[in-house]
Chains A and B, each alone.
Chain A
């Protein structure tokens, strides 16, 4: 699973969101690191819909336009949980190895 797909699924976890709502939430969740462009968002979103991880929730009128809201499917929730577990397991392995090799935090060069 790519990082944008991971964050898009995470953004849809608590509530259905529309396109720009997903972009804003992903930026917030990733602390500004993942700034999705609209072309990139829909490039990921269309695949998530085709794969059955995300589906259309509803359409709402907003300023004379129809906003489409998307929601996570049960399959999407499982896929996200599996990916989060995989990433957490990887992080645990790296943290354990780091603690083993560098028991104390490295604070900078030793004073001369």
Chain B
């Protein structure tokens, strides 16, 4: 077996085992033939040092996403994973979209355009306006809002492009600032960048086999989310200093904990098929946010109130663990009971 074949077979391990049993050898034969240049010397070189092109890798990843994160005709277990990843992706993108509206409100408040609110503290005044390029750069974060709408409307690639537009400028700004010593080096922005990157990749779960997102419900979730989260937060922030102690990982812990409690309280034991994708989605989110919370606690060492911040962060993590662990245990049991082979899968559309 050539090195090239080994590399391609390694890539194919992304596909489910039963699919590989049926198709792997044929895929390998077709791939090796596609890499054959017709010249013995060049082909021998490619066999040793060649690698699958990025487009080949992307096609296998897309196939793996379709098979592992199944759509309506997939086996029950693949369907449950698919629905869970789609739900978790929608919820995470919704959270971003909802929170950027808070950014708009705070910017308007700091610039003195909301007369009926108390004036912001002097040390919160905005940095002197930069040039147009800098303003546009800062506004890139708001691309989460159209990214969410595009995802709900079924324009997955547009959503991915817009999400990348929202992610990359802040990441570049942060890299430059850390390199220039303007801000102390910290892990938090990089971990959040990594998670946002995973979120963009997870949008691949919205493939052609997946049922369309129930538009009305998820579009309605946007104004409801804005009323439930940024509006109260903004009101508290305008009148007190307490929210300085709540960062994005902390807020995420609170939101996922609340969502988990509501889910556990509203579960109907006689409808496990409907509850499982939601349980799995919340378990995925809880695990991710718990990891984010623990990793970002390291950065509190630089902060003036680090003892208070650490205590609050530990409490947030403990609450999330307390509600997330029972949910995870139930979800794993339910997943194991599901047959991996095709039978009659649940046919519920994703919706809140």
Binding site for B on A (CB under 8 A): 2, 18-20, 23, 37-43, 46, 62, 65-68
Contact = CB atoms under 8 A, between A and B. Distances in A.
Interface residues of B, number: 23
A19 B26 contact: yes
Kindly list the 6 A-B residue pairs having the minimum CB-CB distance in the complex, ordered from nearest: A39-B59, A19-B30, A37-B59, A20-B33, A39-B60, A43-B63
Given A39-B62, A46-B19, 18 more contacts: A18-B30, A19-B29, A20-B34, A23-B34, A37-B56, A37-B58, A37-B59, A38-B27, A38-B30, A39-B60, A39-B61, A41-B30, A42-B23, A42-B27, A42-B30, A46-B22, A46-B23, A68-B29
A37 B55 contact: yes
B293 interface: no
Contact of B56 (A18, A39, A62, A66): A39
Contacts of A2: 208
Contacts of B30: 18-20, 23, 38, 41-42
Given A20-B33, A23-B34, A40 B26 contact: no
A20 B32 CA distance: 9
Nearest to A41: B30
Classify the interface of chain A: helix, strand, loop or mixed. helix
A78 to B, nearest CB: 21
Nearest to B31: A38
A66 B29 contact: yes
Contact of B29 (A41, A46, A67): A67
B59 to A, nearest CB: 3
Given A38-B34, A39-B60, A43-B62, A19 B25 contact: no
B96 interface: no
Contacts of A38: 27, 30-31, 34, 56, 59-60
Contacts of B29: 18-20, 62, 65-68
A63 to B, nearest CB: 9
A107 to B, nearest CB: 36
Interface in B18-53: 19, 22-23, 25-34
Given A38-B31, A38-B34, A68 B62 contact: no
13 contacts: A19-B30, A23-B34, A37-B55, A37-B58, A38-B34, A39-B59, A39-B60, A40-B59, A42-B27, A62-B29, A65-B25, A65-B32, A68-B26
B66 interface: yes
Nearest to B28: A65
A94 to B, nearest CB: 24
A18 B29 CA distance: 9
A42 B12 CA distance: 12
Contact of A19 (B22, B27, B55, B208): B27
Contacts of A37: 55-56, 58-59
A43 B71 CA distance: 14
B262 to A, nearest CB: 38
Contacts of A20: 29-30, 33-34
Nearest to B62: A39
Contacts of B66: 43
Contacts of B63: 39-40, 42-43
Contacts of B26: 19, 42, 68
Which of B22, B26, B32, B58 lies at the interface centre, i.e. has the most chain A CB atoms within 10 A of its CB? B26
B25 A66 contact: yes
Contacts of B32: 65
